[in-house]
């Protein structure tokens, strides 16, 4: 969230998450509450229906079009001014029946007193979001080239969002605004002139990326996150802890390039014993995806426990840009070469791919298993406690740690459940032969 004070010299930054959906209002079933809540929420936003006045004609021409040929449809995201703050990340939503102001923005604006209002809003997925109250704020649309200030009644909710405000029909009607999403601009009359506001395309894209990041990090039914690179640290820009002291290379495989690092603080006897142990067990190390034969499925495999009566869901294929399509093709080819996926026809369950750009500029391929996860009950298998693990090694001279990269991919999917993990790409539909990330009970199986 970006809120700038006055001339923009003072800037405050914060983060928000997934949007509350259309502002459909639901009240507790008490007598007269519906009338009371509707009156509070619409208050200053009611569009006057008195004597009509002749105003300027609003038209759109090719010169108004600022959209870029990116193959994607950006939302209408603008900036407004309220409480002497410039508020960015304001979504113009003609389908919302309420003007939504998020709690984090309320705190940044220094608003203390809210008008009490009982009720809830429906979110995108049908979830109920409690209303904290309402507040009326004089809000300015436009800039030095033309502006209009109107009183807007905002419905305040405490929900994670990638926007600060969702401006719904009540405010747009009072502003007399005409929105043209193809040109990514909106116009409204000010006296006998017409003011034009264009969408902030970079901000709109950033909001979309943030909403994906929040969805990946917060939602229980998260998508499958897969990095096919065997050692993701090679491409990572994040700071990681390093061993105390210097390191030196030792060869543990048959060829000179199959080596690892050990600490130089070991004495001669300890070093000789460690190197000998590593060389004797060189077969447990994987240098490529083909070096991971995986666990015997007769010993362990991941089986989906789908609730009886659950209806299979085939997600509608989402459009991807050229860059994303190329990244998906590359990742799928790697998965096929490693034997992790196979092509499938006529799947009953089908998920979409979601591409997320990492900090290092590479793409991360994710699978949206939201629908499949909803059909599977949660396995309450307890994960190990780090305190218990530390207590168990108390008094020992040495403690060894081993990173199991692509550990999930070494566990096979049950043959009957492979096709339920199917995902759609431009090249066709594929399913996992190994356990992918993102399935609800994959962590319990891995432990």
CA distance 184 to 202: 12
- For residue 42, is pLDDT > 90? no
How confident is the model over 218-234, as a mean pLDDT?
A: 42
* Paired tokens of 437: 């990330």
Q: Does domain 62-216 have CATH number 2.40.10.120?
A: no
- Better-scored residue on pLDDT, 71 or 358: 358
- For residue 203, is pLDDT > 90? no
- For residue 322, is pLDDT > 80? yes
> What per-residue confidence (pLDDT) applies to 182?
85
- For residue 54, is pLDDT > 80? no
- For residue 191, is pLDDT > 70? yes
> What per-residue confidence (pLDDT) applies to 297?
60
- For residue 32, is pLDDT > 50? no
How confident is the model over 30-46, as a mean pLDDT?
A: 45
The answer to whether 435 and 442 have CB atoms below 8 angstroms apart is yes
Residue spans of beta strands (DSSP E) within 191-231: 193-198, 224-226
> What per-residue confidence (pLDDT) applies to 292?
60
**Can you spell out the DSSP letters for 253-322?**
SSSTT-EEEEETTS-HHHHHHHHHHHHHTGGG--SSGGG-----TTT-EE---PPTTPPP-BPPPPP--H
pLDDT in tens, 381-412: 555 666 676 777 777 776 666 655 555 566 78
Least confident of 19-33, 91-105, 190-204, 365-379: 19-33
- For residue 442, is pLDDT > 70? no
> What per-residue confidence (pLDDT) applies to 160?
79
> What per-residue confidence (pLDDT) applies to 417?
86
> What per-residue confidence (pLDDT) applies to 337?
81
- Better-scored residue on pLDDT, 16 or 344: 344
Confidence band, pLDDT 50/70/90 cuts, at residue 170? very high
Confidence band, pLDDT 50/70/90 cuts, at residue 128? confident
For the chain, what is the mean pLDDT?
Answer: 75
> What per-residue confidence (pLDDT) applies to 321?
85
- For residue 22, is pLDDT > 50? no
For 147, left (φ over 0), alpha (ψ -120 to 50), or beta? beta
Q: Which CATH class is domain 301-446?
A: alpha beta
The answer to whether 330 and 338 have CB atoms below 8 angstroms apart is no
- For residue 210, is pLDDT > 80? no
CA-closest candidate to residue 13, choices 219, 213, 206 = 206
Confidence band, pLDDT 50/70/90 cuts, at residue 68? low
Confidence band, pLDDT 50/70/90 cuts, at residue 252? confident
> What per-residue confidence (pLDDT) applies to 186?
92
The fraction of the chain above a pLDDT of 90, given in percent, is 16
* Paired tokens of 2: 């970006």
CA distance 135 to 114: 5
Confidence band, pLDDT 50/70/90 cuts, at residue 29? very low
Residue with tokens 């990269």: 405
Residue with tokens 């799928």: 332
Confidence band, pLDDT 50/70/90 cuts, at residue 152? very high
* Paired tokens of 353: 């791919």
pLDDT in tens, 93-111: 988 888 999 998 998 888 9
Least confident of 231-235, 381-385, 414-418: 231-235
> What per-residue confidence (pLDDT) applies to 223?
44
What residue spans define the domains of the chain?
Answer: 62-216, 247-267+274-284, 301-446
């Amino acid at each position: 969230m970006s809120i700038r004070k006055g001339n923009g010299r003072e800037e405050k930054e914060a983060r928000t998450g997934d949007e509350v959906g259309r502002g459909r209002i639901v009240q507790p079933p008490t007598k007269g509450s519906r009338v009371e809540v509707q009156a509070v929420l619409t208050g200053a936003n009611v569009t006057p229906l008195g004597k009509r006045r002749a105003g300027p004609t609003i038209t759109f021409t090719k010169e108004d079009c600022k959209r870029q040929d990116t193959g994607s449809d950006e939302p209408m995201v603008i900036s407004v001014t309220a409480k002497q703050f410039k508020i960015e990340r304001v979504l113009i939503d003609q389908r919302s029946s309420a003007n939504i102001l998020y709690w984090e923005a309320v705190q940044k604006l220094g608003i203390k007193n809210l008008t009490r209002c009982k009720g809830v809003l429906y979110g995108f997925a049908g979830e109920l979001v409690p209303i904290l109250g309402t507040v009326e704020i004089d809000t300015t649309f436009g800039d030095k080239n033309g502006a209009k200030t109107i009183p807007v009644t905002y419905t305040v909710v405490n929900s994670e969002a990638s926007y600060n405000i969702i401006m719904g029909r009540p405010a747009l009607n009072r502003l007399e605004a005409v929105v043209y999403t193809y040109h990514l601009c909106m116009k409204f009359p000010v006296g006998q002139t017409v003011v034009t506001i264009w969408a902030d395309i970079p901000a709109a894209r950033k909001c979309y990326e943030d909403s994906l990041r929040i969805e990946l990090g917060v939602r229980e039914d998260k998508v499958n996150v897969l990095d096919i690179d065997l050692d993701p640290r090679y491409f990572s820009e994040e700071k990681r802890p390093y061993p105390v002291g210097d390191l030196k290379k030792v060869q543990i495989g048959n060829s000179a390039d199959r080596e690892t690092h050990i600490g130089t603080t070991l004495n001669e006897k300890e070093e000789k014993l460690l190197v000998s142990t590593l060389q004797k067990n060189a077969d447990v190390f994987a240098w490529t995806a083909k070096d991971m034969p995986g666990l015997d499925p007769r010993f362990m495999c991941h089986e989906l426990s789908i609730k009886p009566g659950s209806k299979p869901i085939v997600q509608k294929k989402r459009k991807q840009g050229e860059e994303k399509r190329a990244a998906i093709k590359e990742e799928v080819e790697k998965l096929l070469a490693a034997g992790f996926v196979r092509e499938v026809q006529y799947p009953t369950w089908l998920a979409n791919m979601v591409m997320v750009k990492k900090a290092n500029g590479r793409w991360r391929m994710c699978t949206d298993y939201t629908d499949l996860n909803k059909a599977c009950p949660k396995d309450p298998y307890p994960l190990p406690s780090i305190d218990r693990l530390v207590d168990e090694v108390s008094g020992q001279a040495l403690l060894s740690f081993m990173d199991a990269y692509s550990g999930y991919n070494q566990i096979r999917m049950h043959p009957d459940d492979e096709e339920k993990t199917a995902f759609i790409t431009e090249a066709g539909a594929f399913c996992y032969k190994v356990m992918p990330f993102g399935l609800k009970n994959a962590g319990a199986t891995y432990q």
